[in-house]
Structure 1
């Protein structure tokens, strides 16, 4: 067979992700707070864009008809499209007809200066002793404490590094362990719990004895075995276990220097009479319009094509496209949320137990959009409803079959499992198999391993750990 080189021309359709298309997809995906920052950046970069407030908008509305008569239509550089200034000069981006009241004033959040765990401990060290050697050892020990609050180095290692005696290192460690939060500077979990019990003046209590002498049995919650060895009633062991359960296994997390993350809903669903109304919660999103002052620069000879005119035409097209994209984003988000409300009407009326199975593809088919578009709309977005604030992904879940042929959401099954465990007899808790049998009696087909998976996702303990005496 002879091999040779040949040239061949073929045609095939391909999707080219232009810069504008990529930006449009990004604007659709970002939450409201991030969109606010993006639009503020666009206001700085594009001189033809300006933000309009409510007062200006009301004044312009009354005089819009007279001003629109004076507008001219300059010709773009490529002569392919006429610029309709009458359309874009007075139009501004209005995010929603159901916009909430913007007259409400909110106090500005002032950034707080929060110290780290090490800084918090060092400040206590300097107030606790004026011994230079103890301060030196204490600073080294504090630098060796991890974010959980545990000491990550042994006394012997500290002795070898600093050249201090074991007695002085132990003295410095005991000093650090008296600092706030309780349990700080422990070398393991057992010592951490004992330090907290000692701080609560429970060093000689049954709880402290259990942690000291029966820690392995405590981790397995073998209360009967502990009661037999300690020669005390099992009810007292149970009460001591409750005390130990309230202690903090990671005391370092009490001093957190991470800024809290606030959830601000992107959409709002309110019940007005017998209907649910959906609108955007974008009162702080800049409302954009085309700056009218640049129209004078485009007047004159249409054939004139200098660099200034070309620059203004380019920025004008960019501003027009941005305003249209934001408006399209608003319509798409409201359309998707309205579809979710219609599909999950029983949830809004009766609660989580009546949440229906729903997929992104089902919503996409109902509103005539692609599944990826719905995914971008629901990504990292939150909605405020009469039943609380939920992530949009919350309304989508897999389905479970029932005996009568109907479908039930996996979230509804989890809610039923949590309710059964909450109402169970604590002296005889329900096993996963018994829960599966009870769900089967209710017509829900679910396996024991699925019950176990849902229980773990709900962070509920197995039956043997939930037993009370």
Structure 2
């Protein structure tokens, strides 16, 4: 056996994750909020970048620099790659008004704690009693329930349990009705007492049979209380008119989360147009001052290297953001073309769709489509939808076409809304009804979709 050393030339191909490719992937996956934050950080770190100026701003700059027209021509040559890229990849020019949020102009809103402390000032309590009352109020959660026990308050203020209980009873008379309760039964009882309800059957159900009532075990409750099922059902209907979470009446507008659409789909002359909004990804440009500075031959070498480095970084970022816009546009356009029946006829005509089908249509990888739809929203004539909403699983039909899960949920919802409340459809009955229309679906799948719609089972929907 002979061992020897040889030199060979071999040509291979391999995928290298360049910094620019890595940045493009990250930017594509950002939602509108993350992208805005990222761009703001880049504007701070890179002085060469600046937000794209409006027509009025650019005209003012042109008047200021009219004397240096020759220099501007040279700069255009220097940035020919940047300018040509913008012109080649422009999708459409839409004039968009700057969206203004008025959230910062809202006045201070009264919270539940503030409202209760205000009422405490007028309670017939001494100084120590008001301190105890203030402590108790500050331990009431956003739903209006008291989350500490009497023993903790007694140990903190060195008082008797009866005194603490008396202060809690006073707080429970405050507005909103039912506040300060320690559980649901006590909350409903407070509301019944303040509404001057005297029916003992109602109090017994609230105190001992709320779980059975929630499970619609009407016969069991009626048998224990020796009343008719109709009477128990009437009590249940009345109790549902009460407020189980009195504190939520004081929920502030800050609890509301607004969604800014990344894409708008509009129907113009029978055609659906896809508009990638500039407000979610502000356009960037190169700072005019640094363009002029690069023409200065007397500039130091270190300064020139620094500006060129920042310039290359800025051009890459602009290219990545424009590429993100192009990818999102192509993906959304493909989705609109595939789900055209949804936009024309409604949710029931939504088709099953996979990432691979859109990836093959656009000519990209499935992971690229997944990143392009991640956290993105579409505003269309039928409402606001997350892009993931259009990628539905489904079942086959007797006609050879797929039916999306969302379409089946809509059919199930309609069937239950129109059912006989005294004989509601079971999951098997719903499955049979769908099979009659050509939709092949099992009882288990019906139960799964029903749970996702937060619709109770047939035994809980039954009326007597």
TM over 0.5: yes
After TM superposition, give the deviation of residue 387 of structure 1 in Å.
Answer: 0.6
After TM superposition, give the deviation of residue 261 of structure 1 in Å.
Answer: 1.0
Instruction: Provide the aligned length of Structure 1 versus Structure 2.
Output: 450
Q: Secondary structure at the match of 2:285?
A: strand
Distance across 1 between alignment mates of 2:450 and 2:384? 23
Deviates more, 1:387-396 or 1:166-175: 166-175
After TM superposition, give the deviation of residue 91 of structure 1 in Å.
Answer: 8.4
Q: How do 1:26-425 residues align onto structure 2 when only pairs under 5 Å count?
A: 26-51=26-51, 52-57=53-58, 70-72=72-74, 84-88=78-82, 97-102=92-97, 107=102, 109-114=104-109, 117-204=112-199, 207-230=202-225, 232-256=227-251, 259-283=255-279, 285-299=281-295, 306-425=301-420
Distance across 1 between alignment mates of 2:438 and 2:136? 60
Distance across 1 between alignment mates of 2:288 and 2:154? 75
After TM superposition, give the deviation of residue 16 of structure 1 in Å.
Answer: 5.3
Q: Once the two structures are superposed, what CA deviation does each residue of 1:162-188 show, in whole Å capped at 9, x if it has no partner?
A: 331222111111012122333222222
Deviates more, 1:170-179 or 1:280-289: 280-289
After TM superposition, give the deviation of residue 447 of structure 1 in Å.
Answer: 1.2
Q: Secondary structure at the match of 1:279?
A: strand
Distance across 1 between alignment mates of 2:117 and 2:324? 51
After TM superposition, give the deviation of residue 293 of structure 1 in Å.
Answer: 2.4
After TM superposition, give the deviation of residue 383 of structure 1 in Å.
Answer: 0.4
Q: 1:215 to 1:50 in 2, by over 3 A?
A: closer
Q: 1:90 to 1:54 in 2, by over 3 A?
A: farther
2:43/2:49 contact within 8 Å kept:
yes
Distance across 2 between alignment mates of 1:220 and 1:110? 46
Q: Once the two structures are superposed, what CA deviation does each residue of 1:149-207 show, in whole Å capped at 9, x if it has no partner?
A: 33333334533443312221111110121223332222222111212233333354754
Q: 2:441 aligns with which of 446, 459, 463?
A: 446
TM value normalised by structure 2: 0.85
After TM superposition, give the deviation of residue 48 of structure 1 in Å.
Answer: 1.8
Distance across 1 between alignment mates of 2:296 and 2:104? 49
2:294/2:304 contact within 8 Å kept:
yes
Q: 1:332 to 1:70 in 2, by over 3 A?
A: same
Q: Once the two structures are superposed, what CA deviation does each residue of 1:113-143 show, in whole Å capped at 9, x if it has no partner?
A: 3455444433332342441232232233234
Q: Secondary structure at the match of 2:289?
A: helix
Q: Which residue of 2 aligns with 1:426?
A: 421
Aligned-residue RMSD, C-alpha = 3.3
Distance across 2 between alignment mates of 1:106 and 1:149? 31
1:364/1:370 contact within 8 Å kept:
yes
Distance across 1 between alignment mates of 2:112 and 2:387? 36
Q: 1:354 to 1:89 in 2, by over 3 A?
A: closer
Q: 1:41 to 1:159 in 2, by over 3 A?
A: closer
After TM superposition, give the deviation of residue 425 of structure 1 in Å.
Answer: 1.0
Q: 1:284 to 1:453 in 2, by over 3 A?
A: closer
Q: Which residue of 1 aligns with 2:23?
A: 23
Distance across 1 between alignment mates of 2:141 and 2:294? 64
Q: Which residue of 2 aligns with 1:6?
A: none
Structure number with the higher helix fraction is: 2
Structure 2 unmatched ranges of 5 or more: 1-9
Q: 1:138 to 1:431 in 2, by over 3 A?
A: same
After TM superposition, give the deviation of residue 39 of structure 1 in Å.
Answer: 2.4
TM value normalised by structure 1: 0.85
1:364/1:371 contact within 8 Å kept:
yes
After TM superposition, give the deviation of residue 272 of structure 1 in Å.
Answer: 1.1
2:98/2:279 contact within 8 Å kept:
no
Distance across 2 between alignment mates of 1:120 and 1:95? 54
Distance across 2 between alignment mates of 1:307 and 1:47? 16
1:90/1:289 contact within 8 Å kept:
no
2:71/2:292 contact within 8 Å kept:
no
1:190/1:212 contact within 8 Å kept:
yes
Q: Secondary structure at the match of 1:99?
A: coil
Q: 1:341 to 1:137 in 2, by over 3 A?
A: same
